[in-house]
Structure 1
């Protein structure tokens, strides 16, 4: 067995020569310094500090040297690799800082500019209030009924005890729908319904007795649009037809509605009135839910809600006229009933403080959004 080659000269291994190590180190430091981005620095790291870099390959040659030559060669190559590693770390910190500064400038968002997204919509408060009103009566056992908005005169007038010469059938209050085959709109026999009461007749004709229904819907009249009136408005019609029904039952249903919609403990009152389809008829007032009558006779404590009268009118009602029941095929010797009508816009204005009908009907999303996204 031959003895170790103690006379081996490490200078003869070219990658380990001091000049070659210095050259590889200087090339690496120059490439690192010239890197203008993190991607370029990554390429320089792979080329000059990776497993196939010149100094990495030179480091592998150290194991082939005799023991006496390994220490000096290892010190020379290790020093060069350490300088490159430190240069890489320092350059990476500089490039990362530059990148972060550039991102802050290039990706900055001016939050004062208008955004390009459409604002989220909202259900109209008329819809939500009408559904809430109907739900109160549904909880009492009523069902919701619907009818067409373009209605036959018979349902809108005749069936409700309004003969042809009744003032409400004139052009001043009613929108008649034109028929191409008719000389004039009034001869078409079709109108935009002036109230939701036609649903009463349709419900009686289409259901088995007893009948308990509520009918929320849109109605039309020839009114000017102002702060408190609109040619298009909404009503909630209610009707009950059963054996032995009377005003006391009607009063109980109205009291339950007022208590649930506006607050418990509010009194109601009926004032005599006239409607062709009910007899007797009454206007329904409820106690002011703001002042509860405390502002009456107190000029020092006025109430804007009720005008310091202590009462607020909310709708009309009455016992269904027997002529209406007979027109719908109901035996008036066995059955009786009552009906009421409540304005949805009026309820909205009272319950939520809306002051102007224009805000309700003009469709401004800012008005509807204030009521939230109630479903």
Structure 2
């Protein structure tokens, strides 16, 4: 058999095998078999130089034509079988694109502090209070002076308060809005003021920025009994219907008399034994409060809040502390670490 005959025979074998291939994997095997580095057809082409001169042209041309023909047939067959395989896979794996992805992406939830703030707002709205907000950057007048702070009070120091200018601060509490609200409307007034406040503190129980809810109720005949009743209703709504409250004497510049307010420990109540949260006392401190100091009422322009005619109470609580007590959170900084393992527990 001559070289030309062998080339023609190899071409015929290759084309027949390609036409009978069942899938693209079989075609790849045929590509190696007939066109690979060790295949006979490429070796015949490489051996043209060893042939007699009169045979080289015909053999070289025939080998090139055979190689090109086989390559073209392989390419066409590969495209045809790949498309057939794709069509079969699409038919078998039909997907309803209207269905949600797997796994379903989790939906966002409120941050724990936002959720607790809204819960507190809902309680006081139900008690007849109005929710108000005020500026986070306020004047020294509203933040300290109008609230009866002594000029030498430690809270005025730059080591305790962030000053923007000598007469402008980042508010240290939301109480300035109480004075602003009284300037804007005559009594009776019943408001709560939630929002961010700022102080120069940073540890496990303090952060430079935190959240407070201040409350104010001024009308004729308001007493400490009204304050206790409101706070009792609040504590039972937040911490459980069996809670009790107690008032302990204290001092705040803008209330007189002033009290610290405790709620009966709900951790002890679960099993009847003392817990580490209340340290065995059976009470948890939650906020400060008191009757609005007459100097604060008398300082409201216009005389509408004459302390001889009206009186009221004010209170202030930290939202972070309420959430810590309610959910047993050990460290204030967890609120701000943005650790999803923590945040998702309260979604």
- If the length of structure 2 is used for normalisation, what is the TM-score? 0.69
Alpha-carbon distance in structure 1 between the residues aligned to 2:232 and 2:190: 17
| Closer, same or farther: CA 293–128 of 1 in aligned 2, 3 Å | closer
Partner of 1:27: none
Higher CA-based Rg:
1
> Is the contact between residue 174 and residue 213 of structure 2 (CA under 8 Å) also seen in structure 1?
yes
1:128 aligned residue (81, 93, 115): 115
Q: 1:302 to 1:206 in 2, by over 3 A?
A: same
Q: CA deviation at 1:365?
A: 3.4
Contact 2:274 / 2:281 at 8 angstroms: preserved in 1?
no
Q: Given the alignment of the two structures, is residue 202 of structure 1 paired with residue 189 of structure 2, yes or no? A: no
The answer (yes or no) to whether the contact 2:160–2:199 under 8 Å persists in 1 is: yes
Deviation at 1:120, TM superposition (A): 4.1
In the other structure, the counterpart of 1:277 is 254
Displacement after TM superposition at 1:99 (Å) = 6.6
Residue number in structure 2 paired with 1:353? 328
Q: Partners in 2 of 1:315 and 1:306 — Cα distance?
A: 15
User: Following superposition of structure 1 onto structure 2, how do residues 207-218 of structure 1 map, counting pairs within 5 Å?
Assistant: 207-218=185-196
2-structure distance, mates of 1:106, 1:253? 63
Instruction: Name 1:86's counterpart in structure 2.
Output: none
Instruction: Give, in angstroms, the shift of residue 123 of structure 1.
Output: 1.8
Q: Which residue of 1 aligns with 2:279?
A: 307
Aligned to 2:228: 251
Shift of 1:311: 0.5
Helix, strand or coil for the counterpart of 1:214? strand
Q: 2:196 and 2:290 mapped to 1: Cα distance?
A: 21
Contiguous gaps of at least 5 residues in structure 1: 1-29, 38-94, 108-114, 179-186, 296-300
- Select the residue among 134, 139, 145 that pairs with 1:147: 134
Q: Give, in whole Å, the separation in 1 of the partners of 2:125 and 2:247.
A: 23
SS of residue matched to 1:138: helix
Note if contact 1:122-1:368 (Cα within 8 Å) is conserved in structure 2.
no
Structure 2, unpaired ranges of 5+: 1-15, 24-81, 95-101
Deviation at residue 306 of structure 1 after TM alignment:
1.6
| Alignment check: 8 A CA contact 1:216 1:236 kept | yes
Residue by residue over 1:200-227, the C-alpha shift from the partner in whole angstroms, topping out at 9 and shown as x without a partner, is 1011011231000001111111112x22
- 1:169 is the counterpart of 2:156: yes
Q: 1:105 to 1:357 in 2, by over 3 A?
A: farther
Q: Is 1:121–1:365's contact at 8 Å kept on the other side of the alignment?
A: no
- For 1:318, what is the secondary structure of its paired residue? strand
Q: Distance in 2 between matches of 1:132 and 1:310?
A: 25
SS state at 1:260 partner = helix
Query: Equivalent of 2:238, from 245, 261, 275?
Result: 261
Kept after mapping to 2: 8 A contact 1:281/1:319: yes
Cα distance in 1 between the residues matched to 2:86 and 2:178: 74
| Distance in 2 between residues matched to 1:310 and 1:370, nearest whole Å | 27
Work out whether residues 220 and 231 of structure 1, in 8 Å CA contact, stay in contact via their aligned partners in 2.
Answer: yes
Q: 1:366 to 1:105 in 2, by over 3 A?
A: farther
Name the SS of the counterpart of 1:132 in structure 2: helix
Q: Which residue of 2 aligns with 1:328?
A: 300
Deviation of 1:362 after TM superposition, in Å, equals: 2.2
Q: 1:353: how far off?
A: 1.5
SS in 2 for 1:234: strand
RMSD: 3.2
**Cα offset, 1:104, TM superposition:** 11
Alignment check: 8 A CA contact 2:274 2:282 kept: no
The TM-score with structure 1 as length reference comes to: 0.64
Aligned length in residues: 263
Conservation of the 8 A alpha-carbon contact between 2:150 and 2:253:
no
**CA offsets 1:292-324 (integer angstroms, 9 cap, x no match):** 3976xxxxx441332222100000000000000
